[in-house]
């Protein structure tokens, strides 16, 4: 139980499902306030202390604030700045104040740039300074970026200093490991948070339930099913165990649609970690980047 509690402390609950109707595996739509309350209460008792949200996740911040999340460590994300913005530093400060007010907290453990490519445009430095000032004033603990591709990192990290990088990582998608980024980030003292461990639930679905779009990767997904079967491991355990096995990863952001999903997750974790085989890795963005999937 103790080592499990330690493992649970590496888990961070992703809350996009609380704020909008989202996900190919989600059959029930936006999670209801009653279910959100059950999920958060369970997290409190299970030592899952970190919540990941974003201004861009619809009503997510508001529902978290309504529940009362002062006891959690909160990470939110700053959206893209509006094109006609005259005073970026003021906009950053007002946007963060808006998040704090919706979340009903006076301190944020982390704020990530949700569209870090904007840091490379002519106003990027002002954007960064805005968040940096809030960190210096003690309103924010850590600042960071949420990225999609290994290529996004090089230029940004050459120009700016961050405490956290959030990136996608799962059994099919090991690009940040293979390009050595996990090691490079660790060497720079940067915390690594990963998301998409279940690839929006695709890696947990029975083959017959996968949407037709994924037929193109039938061979790859069949190999995944065979590997699970050969190793007598459930998909949920395989996905979690694969990320937990990587000691460079500090936090694992995962999403759930129900308390049942969450209970399945916590009961699947033990201390026997197993890395997925390399033949399941792919660089094909059309399967590993859910933003490129057709909208349901």
Ligand X SMILES: NC(=O)c1ccc[n+]([C@@H]2O[C@H](COP(=O)([O-])OP(=O)(O)OC[C@H]3O[C@@H](n4cnc5c(N)ncnc54)[C@H](OP(=O)(O)O)[C@@H]3O)[C@@H](O)[C@H]2O)c1
The residues binding ligand X (CB under 6 A) are 14, 16-17, 22-23, 25-26, 54, 146, 195-201, 204, 236, 254-257, 261, 264-265, 290-291
* CB-CB contact of 8 with 46 (8 Å): yes
Least Å from the CB of residue 213 to ligand X: 14
* CB-CB contact of 258 with 171 (8 Å): no
**H or E element at residue 145:** strand 140-146
Least Å from the CB of residue 238 to ligand X: 13
* CB-CB contact of 98 with 55 (8 Å): yes
* CB-CB contact of 97 with 55 (8 Å): no
Least Å from the CB of residue 87 to ligand X: 26
Two tokens, residue 149: 């591709």
Toward ligand X, which CB reaches closer, 7 or 26? Answer: 26
Sign of the C-alpha dihedral computed for residues 23, 36, 11 and 50 taken in this order: positive
Toward ligand X, which CB reaches closer, 1 or 291? Answer: 291
182/180 Cα distance (integer angstroms) = 6
Least Å from the CB of residue 137 to ligand X: 26
Helix, strand, or coil here: 144?
strand
Toward ligand X, which CB reaches closer, 134 or 202? Answer: 202
Least Å from the CB of residue 130 to ligand X: 20
Toward ligand X, which CB reaches closer, 18 or 160? Answer: 18
Sign of the C-alpha dihedral computed for residues 140, 146, 152 and 154 taken in this order: positive
Toward ligand X, which CB reaches closer, 95 or 261? Answer: 261
88-103 and 124-136 helices, crossing angle to 10°: 50
Least Å from the CB of residue 280 to ligand X: 15
Toward ligand X, which CB reaches closer, 217 or 254? Answer: 254
């Amino acid at each position: 139980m103790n080592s499990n509690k330690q493992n649970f402390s590496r888990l961070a609950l992703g809350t996009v499902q609380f704020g909008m109707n989202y996900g190919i595996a989600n059959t029930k739509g936006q999670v209801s306030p009653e279910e959100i309350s059950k999920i958060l209460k369970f997290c409190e008792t299970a030592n899952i202390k970190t919540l990941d949200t974003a201004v861009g996740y619809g009503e997510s911040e508001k529902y978290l604030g309504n529940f009362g999340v002062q006891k959690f460590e909160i990470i939110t994300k700053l959206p893209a700045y509006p094109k006609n913005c005259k005073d970026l530093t003021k906009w950053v400060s007002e946007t963060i104040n808006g998040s704090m007010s919706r979340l009903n907290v006076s301190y944020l453990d982390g704020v990530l740039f949700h569209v870090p490519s904007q840091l490379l445009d002519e106003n990027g430095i002002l954007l960064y300074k805005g968040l940096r000032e809030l960190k210096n004033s003690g309103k924010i603990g850590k600042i960071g970026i949420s990225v999609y591709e290994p290529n996004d990192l090089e230029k940004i990290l050459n120009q700016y200093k961050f405490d956290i990088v959030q990136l996608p990582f799962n059994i099919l998608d090991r690009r940040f490991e293979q390009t050595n980024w996990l090691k490079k980030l660790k060497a720079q003292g940067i915390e690594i948070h990963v998301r998409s461990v279940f690839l929006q639930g695709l890696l947990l679905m029975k083959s017959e339930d996968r949407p037709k779009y994924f037929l193109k990767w039938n061979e790859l997904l069949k190999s995944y099913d065979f590997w699970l079967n050969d190793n007598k491991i459930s998909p949920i355990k395989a996905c979690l165990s694969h990320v937990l096995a990587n000691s460079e990863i500090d936090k694992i952001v995962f999403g759930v649609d129900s308390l049942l999903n969450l209970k399945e997750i916590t009961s699947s974790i033990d201390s026997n970690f197993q890395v997925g085989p390399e033949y399941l890795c792919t660089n094909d963005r059309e399967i590993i980047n859910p933003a490129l999937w057709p909208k349901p």
